[in-house]
Amino acid sequence: MHKVGFFRSIQVKFVLIYVLLILVSMQIIGLYFARELEQTLKDNFTSSIVDRMNLVEFSVREEVLKKRKDSDPTLEQSLKNVLFEFTSDDIIEIRVINSKYRILATSSFDNQMRVGQHSTNDNVRKSITSKAMKDVVTIDPQSHNRVLSLAKPIFNGNEIIGSLYVEANIESVFQQIEEINRILAGAAAVSLTITIIVGIFIARAFTRPISDMRRQAQAMAKGNFTRKVKVYGTDEMGQLAIAFNHLTNQLQESQSTTESERRKLASVLENMTDGVISTDRKGRVSLINDSALQMLGVTNDLVINRPIASILGIDDEYTFEELIQMKESIPLDFSTEDQAYILRATISVTQRETGFVKGLIVVLHDNTEQEKIDMERREFVSNVSHELRTPLTTMRSYLDALAEGAWRNEDIAPNFLHVTQNETERMIRLVNDLLKLSRMDSKEYELNKEWVEFNRFFNAVIERFEFSKSQNVRFTRNLYSSSLFVEIDTDKLTQVLDNIISNALKYSPDGGEIRFGVTVSGDYIKVMISDDGMGIPKSNVNRIFDRFYRADRARSRALGGTGLGLAIAKEMIVAHKGEIWAQSEEGTGTTIFFKLPFEQQEDGEWD
């Protein structure tokens, strides 16, 4: 599960935003309050000083305009007395300056020497010239306290007779402001702490459903749809939680349906005999079933994400774009010298509704047997045509000769008729053998089985050939020592033995030997018929049971063979639920084996 960083958490972000908003609000309020408080205190202080200056101004004007007697104190002394009356703790010094900028009096004992000197104070000069009061706050270089300097013109009617200059200690006002600011800062800190705590609880209340939904989403990503989001109320967040739970149920049903369909599809693909390959839109293999892996002889890890054309071995002939446009199936020939192996690939395109190609579906079908059947059918038709054409050509030649007058010649006419008769019989045998094979292929026959003692049955067939043979060939028998009772169709099995023994006699040289044997192997009896003939090449041993196959075509045809005897023998043995095969070595002879089902019986069961 991916953990969210502390500072990336929505709860922390919510608290931070909440605190920042409070801080901004408090800063704006604090700045406005401090500025207004400072201005108010300064205005109040200045007003109190100005009020006192107005009183001093009246007294000073009276003294300056008063007509003095000899007994009266001097103007300087009178003004000094007036100024001393209005001094206080917050007023540092009061000066009286006439219109010519000469200092008439001062309340400061340290500055009495300046009386009678010209004033260089800018505020005094500005107040006299502008006829308006001037004030400024400066820093005392000695005490480093803030000082309020006020210069107020003294009027006599419309005439300025001087200026009243006052220096007041305004440091106390700024100290009050700083004290109030400290109180505000402390209150802001306490308020901010409480705000953060309250913000955390509020953030938790808001983010708890979101955290629950995040955990539920992470669980859903892992396939767990059993969790539910707790609904904390009926507001928008509660409605969102209800909608999220509903979405979870819908996804669970969809996932269950998808998983069920996926299992069905996987089961279908696994049990299909045909191979199925799916690709992505770039032609890379994304899915392949076991049948396809078996057909191609590859493993899953060697196929996934590889180009489909390369997997099928057709990358030199087709590109992926050409495969998309392919309408017909493609034959895939994986045959070797020893074995034929042919597949057929049918390609279909998967597309979206917009026509966008999502990939290919390739279905592989093992077409080896079908190709072999088609080839055998073509070869069968060719062989039948050839076998029929040869006697028909011979008969036509002889009949043409007879029709042209050869029948009058008593020396050659009987020979021509004899050849025609032989060829006719040969065609009849061929047609009969074809009919037998046709009935066997279509299963239009029934086995008339009966219980027979096999040694006696086999001996009878061998003796019939031994009495009628014309060659100098010895028959050697090595039969089973005990009685063997088998359930067989004697007519069908007699045909099998006749075909095998006839072939052994045809290909045995004079003075040769034909060996007969019977053994028991488990639930089967095994029959062996071996000759000393010319043998069969190793590569063609398995083909002697094919239809129209001849080891020596010229000799077989000369002896009247049709090439169907062993094919019929194989069909009959298979019908008896047995098996037939051959072993041969070129130049030394051939041995035919076949097995038949056999059940051993207890003594005394047979009469």
- Long-range own/partner contacts, residues 332-341 (CB < 8 A, 24 or more apart): 332/364, 340/368, 340/371, 340/372, 341/368
CA 580 to chain centre: 53
**Tell me, what's the pLDDT at 129?**
84
15 burial via Cβ count (<10 Å: 0-12, 13-18, 19+): buried
Handedness of CA 282, 284, 289, 291 (dihedral sign): positive
- Cα–Cα distance, 388 to 382 (Å, whole number): 10
**Tell me, what's the pLDDT at 518?**
92
Phi/psi of residue 603, nearest 5 degrees: -60, 140
Residue written as tokens 């069908």? 492
- Write the CB contacts of 474 (distance below 8 Å, at least 6 apart in sequence): 512, 513, 514
- Cα–Cα distance, 299 to 178 (Å, whole number): 85
Instruction: Report the Cα–Cα distance between both ends of the chain, in Å, rounded.
Output: 85
Query: In terms of CATH, what superfamily is 11-176?
Result: PAS domain (3.30.450.20)
Query: pLDDT of 158-168, one tens digit each?
Result: 888 888 888 88
**Tell me, what's the pLDDT at 607?**
39
Binned at pLDDT 50, 70 and 90, residue 8 comes out as low
Sorted by where each begins, the domain ranges of the chain are 11-176, 272-361, 372-441, 450-597
Label each residue of 307-370 as H, E or C: EHHHHHCCCCCCCHHHHHCCCCCEEEECCCCCCCCEEEEEEEEEECCCCCEEEEEEEEEECHHH
Query: pLDDT of 563-592, one tens digit each?
Result: 677 877 888 888 888 999 988 888 888 999
More confident residue, 353 or 383: 353
**CATH topology classification for 272-361:** Beta-Lactamase (3.30.450)
Query: pLDDT of 249-272, one tens digit each?
Result: 888 788 788 878 878 877 777 777
pLDDT mean across residues, the chain: 79
Binned at pLDDT 50, 70 and 90, residue 595 comes out as very high
Tell me yes or no: is domain 450-597 CATH 3.30.565.10. Answer: yes
Query: pLDDT of 371-420, one tens digit each?
Result: 777 776 776 666 666 666 767 777 777 788 777 877 777 777 788 787 78
For residue 10 the two structure tokens come to 């929505």
pTM of whole model > 0.75? no
**Tell me, what's the pLDDT at 519?**
92
> Distances from the Cα of 585 to the Cαs of 475, 535, 538, 554, 567, in angstroms?
20, 5, 7, 20, 20
Question: Is 560's pLDDT higher than 70?
Answer: no
**Tell me, what's the pLDDT at 1?**
42
Query: pLDDT of 297-346, one tens digit each?
Result: 888 888 888 888 888 888 888 888 888 888 888 888 887 777 778 888 88
- Cα–Cα distance, 105 to 244 (Å, whole number): 89
Query: pLDDT of 471-480, one tens digit each?
Result: 788 899 998 8
Residue written as tokens 């609904």? 231
Query: pLDDT of 205-225, one tens digit each?
Result: 777 777 777 777 777 777 777
**Tell me, what's the pLDDT at 557?**
45
**Tell me, what's the pLDDT at 386?**
62
Binned at pLDDT 50, 70 and 90, residue 558 comes out as very low
- CATH no. of 372-441: 1.10.287.130
The stretch 61-71 carries a mean pLDDT of 71
- Cα–Cα distance, 101 to 118 (Å, whole number): 5
- Write the CB contacts of 33 (distance below 8 Å, at least 6 apart in sequence): 184
CA 49 to chain centre: 87
**Tell me, what's the pLDDT at 526?**
92
The answer to whether 272-361 and 372-441 have equal CATH topology is no
